[in-house]
Amino acid sequence: MFSLAAPDRIRDVLTAAGFTGITVNQAQAQAQAYGAWGHGAEDAAEFLLGTGPGRHLIEQADPTARVLARRTLTDHLHDHEATDGTVRLRSTSWLVTADRPADASDRP
């Protein structure tokens, strides 16, 4: 998921694959379309660090870095707690468009 987090990386990959006219624009969900990630910052941090890319990354860190990462994430998530305690985050993605020239199919 994070391998294509930077627009320049996206452009590099698509250019190497023969695409042209590449545009990368940030796309955010509407303000009212927040995802619920847990009840309380600690619960949300546990979920985010215990599944998918979060788990993959945290497992590569040494124990001291794991503690620091969890504390830093939890502190950040406190700012996103709603009045009912639910942690709500708005989704952000890249909207990518590109042209594939007719001869691109000849590339290895």
Per-position pLDDT tens, the chain of length 108 = 568 889 999 999 999 999 999 999 998 766 666 778 889 999 999 999 998 888 999 999 999 999 999 999 999 999 999 999 999 887 778 899 999 988 655 555
- Rounded Cα distance between 108 and 94, Å, is 26
- The pLDDT score that the predictor gives to residue 12 is 96
pTM to 2 decimal places: 0.62
Give the contacts of 31 (CB within 8 A, at least 6 positions apart): 90
Q: 1, 80 in Cβ contact below 8 A?
A: no
Give the contacts of 68 (CB within 8 A, at least 6 positions apart): none
Would you state the structure tokens that stand for residue 91, as one six-digit string? 């989704």
**CA angle 82-34-25, nearest 5°?**
135
What is the 3-state composition of the chain as percent helix, strand, coil, each rounded to the nearest 5?
50, 25, 25
- Rounded Cα distance between 80 and 24, Å, is 27
- The pLDDT score that the predictor gives to residue 31 is 60
- The pLDDT score that the predictor gives to residue 106 is 56
- The pLDDT score that the predictor gives to residue 39 is 92
- Rounded Cα distance between 55 and 3, Å, is 15
